Chain A
Amino acid sequence: MTDMLSVKDGTKIFYRGTQDERRALDKLNVTLSPGDFCVVIGSNGAGKSSFLNAVSGKLPLDSGRIFIDGQDVTRLNTHRRAQFIARVFQDPMIGTAPTMTIGENMLLAELRGKPRGFTYGLTAARRARYSEQLSELNLGLEKRLDMQVGLLSGGQRQSLSLVMAVSTRPKLLLLDEHTAALDPRTAKLVMDTTVRAVEELNLTTLMVTHNMEHAIKYGNRIIMMDAGKVLVEIGAEEKRGITVADLVDRFHTKSDIIALQGA
């Protein structure tokens, strides 16, 4: 079986050749099998966001290669990779188009990575399908297809983002701290919806989080990053028994030591 995602020796250096040179990704190697739900943790500046941005295409690699489902996508830019990847951003304002309606946002997501024509967009058949997809959220969004997304709350928008992301069964789902900006109750709601969708559709998922409890509770693998590399990898077997304390223990990383030496 081919890997769904494979990053080989991914390297990205910011401000190369200056005093501020920083290795965001340092020969990073990660592979995900189909159906993997991998949680990425690490302190600030560990390279989690760079990793996600490199996979999505937002951050072109200096060297190394990225394969999605066996296909080399290293040279494809973000909008070309969108045919494989769906992403939910941390900021609910970015992941949706606020001045457009819920239905139009769903339309944009449905046509992700597909050719768009001059035919009428929101047909009756599509509206019916979107209503059905949205009704699973139990937020009443299915009755408000013509409402502007900007009028929704952060949690509602993030839930909508999630439905938009999974509705096309992407090969790879990227979740970028997608519950970090929400209150605990809403965060749980969005997280539950995430897990249900990922399991139902058997999506290969990469989730960045700062929430250790989420890291333990969700997914079958954990990757702990530091200084642009995978520091610790916890597989399905080991992950079952792990506690928050274990994780925090392992968080004593190279950057910490450097920071202490610097002090």
Chain B
Amino acid sequence: MLNVLTSFYGLIPVTIAQSLIVAFVVLGVMLPFRILNFPDLTSEGAFPLGGCVCGALITVGVNPFLACFIALLCGFAAGCTTAFIHLRFKINTLLAGILVMTMLYSINLRILGRTNIPLFTYDTVFTLTAGASANLPWVKILIVGILIALVVAAMLYFFMSEKGTSMRAVGASPDMAEAQGINVGTATIIGVGVASALSATGGSIMVQTQGFADVNMGFGILINGLAALIIGEAITGRQTILRQVAAPVVGSLAYYQLISFCLTLGLAPADLKFATGAFVLLMLALPSLRKSSGGTQIREKIRE
């Protein structure tokens, strides 16, 4: 047991660094699901897209910061495409996401030229900022942590602004939003676009920390993101916009520590996706299980 704890303890910094990167994706999962009420799967394709674009650009000598920014723009375009397909052709949001995600696989392969390219020998955002100590976990935590804090602060401010309030209204009640003069289509496209831009940014940072870009990277990242989001919301709650925006980061931090603990306890990595899926299923099923077992919650509502 002591053995397990020491190896878990040793992994904590690396896991924190990883979870902060994935927190970008979790934010990108949260925004469509919770704010726009637009269940979206584009993240699954936007995450490797960001990684591949960033990796390919770095290998041809583009400045890593610029490479990240271009990856972000590509992710934005992918998200906008999904939302557009849904709005214009009335195709179910999940199906629209799967279509874009599937097509992105080919695009990613084209961008990278092959399935995998190493980036160890190139300068990254981390080596440019921290020099020789770039590979220390605490340096990564500091850099990514500052980035994610800025993103969360920006999102928090935006969702309390006049424009952001109207974007939230689109998810809360589209009919009402339209009647208040809000362009539901534009708000949806921009919102889903920003979400995928976040996922792509996560991908672009990920390739720079792991030292290679791979078209298959992040397989299942969406379900991981969803699991992290659910855990985060269980911890922070969703009553205010601050809690809703903080939940992805808190959830990501908690979820990856949990995974790391399970792995050190001896959970086979092969079983990980099953365990994650089962966990998400359980959390999603919980409300309806509760409802059928007792009526206390419903009664309380009627009393109000």
Which stretch of B104-112, B136-144, B166-174, B246-254 is in the interface?
B166-174
Q: Are the C-beta atoms of A79 and B181 separated by less than 8 Å?
A: yes
Q: Are the C-beta atoms of B173 and A98 separated by less than 8 Å?
A: yes
Interface residues of B in 145-167 (CB under 8 A from A): 157-158, 160-166
- Cα distance A102–B76 in the bound complex, in angstroms: 32
The answer, yes or no, to whether B179 is at the interface (CB within 8 Å) is yes
- Cα distance A99–B183 in the bound complex, in angstroms: 19
Residues of B within 8 A of A148 (CB): 239
The answer, yes or no, to whether A49 is at the interface (CB within 8 Å) is no
- Cα distance A97–B183 in the bound complex, in angstroms: 15
Which stretch of A7-15, A113-121, A213-221, A227-235 is in the interface?
A113-121
A89 to chain B, nearest CB (A): 7
Q: Are the C-beta atoms of B178 and A111 separated by less than 8 Å?
A: no
Q: Are the C-beta atoms of A82 and B179 separated by less than 8 Å?
A: yes
- Cα distance A78–B239 in the bound complex, in angstroms: 30
The answer, yes or no, to whether A109 is at the interface (CB within 8 Å) is yes
Q: Are the C-beta atoms of B160 and A122 separated by less than 8 Å?
A: yes
Q: Are the C-beta atoms of A94 and B161 separated by less than 8 Å?
A: no
The answer, yes or no, to whether A178 is at the interface (CB within 8 Å) is no
Residues of A within 8 A of B184 (CB): 79
Q: Are the C-beta atoms of B179 and A153 separated by less than 8 Å?
A: no
Given contacts A116-B162, A117-B161, A121-B160, contact A98 B304 (CB under 8 A): no
- Cα distance A215–B64 in the bound complex, in angstroms: 69
- Cα distance A117–B172 in the bound complex, in angstroms: 20
Q: Are the C-beta atoms of A108 and B163 separated by less than 8 Å?
A: no
Q: Are the C-beta atoms of A111 and B166 separated by less than 8 Å?
A: yes
Q: Are the C-beta atoms of B177 and A97 separated by less than 8 Å?
A: yes
Q: Are the C-beta atoms of A108 and B166 separated by less than 8 Å?
A: yes
The answer, yes or no, to whether B95 is at the interface (CB within 8 Å) is no
The answer, yes or no, to whether B5 is at the interface (CB within 8 Å) is no
B113 to chain A, nearest CB (A): 40
The answer, yes or no, to whether A171 is at the interface (CB within 8 Å) is no
The answer, yes or no, to whether A87 is at the interface (CB within 8 Å) is yes
Q: Are the C-beta atoms of B239 and A107 separated by less than 8 Å?
A: no
Q: Are the C-beta atoms of B161 and A82 separated by less than 8 Å?
A: no
Residues of B within 8 A of A107 (CB): 162, 165
The answer, yes or no, to whether A104 is at the interface (CB within 8 Å) is yes
Residues of B within 8 A of A112 (CB): 179-181
The answer, yes or no, to whether B176 is at the interface (CB within 8 Å) is yes
User: Residues of B within 8 Å of A, CB-based: how many?
Assistant: 26
Q: How many A-B residue pairs have CB under 8 A?
A: 93
Given contacts A108-B166, A121-B164, contact A94 B176 (CB under 8 A): yes
- Please give me the residue from chain A that is nearest to B162 by CB atom: A116
Interface string of A110-135 (1 = CB under 8 A from B): 01111011111110000000000000
Given contacts A111-B162, A117-B161, A118-B163, contact A95 B178 (CB under 8 A): no
Residues of B within 8 A of A95 (CB): 173, 176, 179
Q: Are the C-beta atoms of B173 and A96 separated by less than 8 Å?
A: yes
Interface string of A77-91 (1 = CB under 8 A from B): 011101101110100
- Cα distance A116–B164 in the bound complex, in angstroms: 9
- Interface size classification for chain A: 35 or more
The answer, yes or no, to whether B262 is at the interface (CB within 8 Å) is no
- Please give me the residue from chain B that is nearest to A100 by CB atom: B172
- Please give me the residue from chain B that is nearest to A96 by CB atom: B176
Q: Are the C-beta atoms of B179 and A78 separated by less than 8 Å?
A: yes
The answer, yes or no, to whether A151 is at the interface (CB within 8 Å) is yes
- Cα distance A133–B172 in the bound complex, in angstroms: 23
The answer, yes or no, to whether A56 is at the interface (CB within 8 Å) is yes
Q: Are the C-beta atoms of A119 and B172 separated by less than 8 Å?
A: no
B81 to chain A, nearest CB (A): 23
Q: Are the C-beta atoms of B180 and A117 separated by less than 8 Å?
A: no
- Please give me the residue from chain B that is nearest to A94 by CB atom: B175
Residues of A within 8 A of B239 (CB): 148
Residues of B within 8 A of A122 (CB): 160
B140 to chain A, nearest CB (A): 32
B75 to chain A, nearest CB (A): 22
Residues of B within 8 A of A96 (CB): 173, 176
Contact of A108 among B157, B161, B180 (CB under 8 A): B180
- Please give me the residue from chain A that is nearest to B158 by CB atom: A118
- Cα distance A212–B173 in the bound complex, in angstroms: 31
Interface residues of B in 1-34 (CB under 8 A from A): none
- Cα distance A80–B156 in the bound complex, in angstroms: 28
- Cα distance A148–B304 in the bound complex, in angstroms: 13
Contact of B169 among A85, A97, A113 (CB under 8 A): A97
- Cα distance A120–B163 in the bound complex, in angstroms: 9
Residues of A within 8 A of B183 (CB): 79
Residues of B within 8 A of A94 (CB): 173, 175-176
Q: Are the C-beta atoms of B178 and A79 separated by less than 8 Å?
A: yes
- Cα distance A229–B168 in the bound complex, in angstroms: 39
Residues of A within 8 A of B178 (CB): 58, 78-79, 82
- Cα distance A121–B163 in the bound complex, in angstroms: 8
Contact residues of B with A, CB < 8 Å?
157-158, 160-166, 168-169, 171-173, 175-184, 239, 304
Taking A96-B176, A119-B162 as given, write out 13 further A-B residue pairs in contact, using a Cβ cutoff of 8 Å, ordered by the A residue number: A80-B181, A85-B179, A87-B179, A93-B173, A98-B172, A104-B165, A107-B165, A108-B169, A111-B181, A112-B179, A112-B180, A118-B158, A121-B165
